[in-house]
Amino acid sequence: MPLPKAELHLHVEGTLEPELAFELAARNGVRLPYADTDELRKAYQFEDLQSFLNLYYELMAVLRTEQDFADLADAYLARAAAQGVRHAEIFFDPQAHIARGVPMGTVVEGLWRALGRSEENHGVSTRLIMCFLRDESADSALETLEAARPYLDRITGIGLDSAEVGHPPVKFREVYEAAAALGLRRVAHAGEEGPPEYITEALDVLGVERVDHGLRCMEDPALVERLVRDRVPLTLCPLSNVRLRAVDVLADHPLAAMLDAGLLCTVNSDDPAYFGGYVADNYHAVRDALGLAKEQMRELARNSFRASFLEDDEERRAR
Ligand code: ES4
Ligand code: ZN
């Protein structure tokens, strides 16, 4: 029995497995520049975040209809349930779809078709987090928030993803303020490839409650002290860090040191179809590479619920 856990850092578009990509391509008459799933899988060799993002955005071309988004999310939820996931907070990238002529409504209604039945079908509760692409403009992010207005009852929070370096959090101050005023929860990717200063800025300027990755905090002892003191959760993605070369090999991953430092670490899968494993695979990989003890594995699973928005909702209801 896998440990019950929550997954807090998962891009739904990053769960598109090659088989489903080809199935959707055929269904929608989209031509992929790969002969078959084997050839596509061979393209999964990444130098860095950008080289991955290029393929990630390219394959999205197959996602066109509500049913496509429903099938994508349902396939993820089935796999997640088999890996012990009981709760999933799921990112999506509306700008990447709107730019291809797929409206916000198609994306959200499609995802909801799967998420709305997830508890009964898979035993997994869900939340949706809408991410802004940080390599697009601040105005585009504001327009995206506006486009999401009719769907805000289905969207718990906002995030910030895509190419990090050169796109500091401060660029998105206004849209984060607007989202906070609408009652949306706030997270952001920071310190994946970008410097520790981006983590500080995400906390101070964007008011994030949780930091996605946050890996590079370890370069700044004062920041680590602050994250520990304020119990700021970090959503780490170990297999992603290896595939995108943020760390050389898993044995060098700072997770064990981060736990020892008292950081509220969680383990997640990021883009599991691309990075070689779903969330339990990430747990097992760090256990084996870093020699984590059973109690540390339990701590990671406990942290995942503690760091989730579900916990807060239930605490609020109880009060
Ligand atoms: C992402 Cl690993 C990662 N980092 C930043 N943005 C992303 N979007 C999808 N995966
Ligand atoms: Zn991510």
**Residue found by looking up tokens 């080289």 in the block:** 51
Question: What is the pLDDT at residue 60?
Answer: 98
Contact at 8 Å (CB) between 201 and 232?
Answer: no
Question: Alpha-carbon distance 165 to 45, whole Å?
Answer: 21
Look up the domain containing 245 and give its range.
5-318
pLDDT in tens, 212-259: 999 999 999 999 999 999 999 999 999 999 999 999 999 999 999 999
Residue 205: CB partners within 8 Å, gap ≥ 6? 169, 170, 173, 176
Confidence grade of residue 1 (pLDDT, cut at 50, 70, 90): confident
How high is the ipTM of this complex? 0.97
Give the type of residue at 148. A
pLDDT in tens, 56-104: 999 999 999 999 999 999 999 999 999 999 999 999 999 999 999 999 9
Residues with CB under 6 A from ligand 1: 11, 14, 49, 56, 161-162, 189, 192, 240, 270-271
Looking at residues 33-62, what average pLDDT do you find?
97
Question: Alpha-carbon distance 35 to 32, whole Å?
Answer: 8
Looking at residues 289-293, what average pLDDT do you find?
98
196's torsion region: left (phi>0), alpha (psi -120 to 50) or beta?
Answer: alpha
Q: Is 204 annotated as a binding residue?
A: no
Q: What is the CATH number of the domain that holds 104?
A: 3.20.20.140
pLDDT in tens, 15-25: 999 999 999 99
Question: What is the pLDDT at residue 159?
Answer: 99
Q: How many CB atoms lie within 10 A of CB 171?
A: 20
Question: Alpha-carbon distance 137 to 151, whole Å?
Answer: 22
Number of domains in the chain: 1
pLDDT surpasses 90 at 319 = no
Continuous H helices in 83-235:
94-98, 104-115, 118-122, 138-148, 173-181, 196-204, 221-229
Question: Alpha-carbon distance 186 to 207, whole Å?
Answer: 7
Considering 89, 192, 193, 201, which one is annotated as catalytic?
192
Question: What is the pLDDT at residue 316?
Answer: 54
Question: Alpha-carbon distance 237 to 148, whole Å?
Answer: 28
Q: How far apart are the first and last CA of the chain?
A: 33
Please report, rounded to a whole number, the percentage of residues in the chain having pLDDT higher than 90: 97
Which ligand is located closest to the Cα atom of residue 53? 1
For atom 4 of ligand 1, the residue with the nearest CA is 162
pLDDT surpasses 90 at 311 = no
Q: What is the pTM of this model?
A: 0.97
Buried b (16+ CB within 10 A) or exposed e, 124-157: bbbbbbbbbbbbbebeebbebbebbeebeebbbb
Looking at residues 287-311, what average pLDDT do you find?
96
pLDDT in tens, 134-149: 999 999 999 999 999 9
pLDDT in tens, 267-279: 999 999 999 999 9
* Ligand 2 center to 120 CA (angstroms): 27
pLDDT in tens, 97-117: 999 999 999 999 999 999 999
Confidence grade of residue 312 (pLDDT, cut at 50, 70, 90): low
Q: Ligand 1, closest atom to CA 275? A: 2
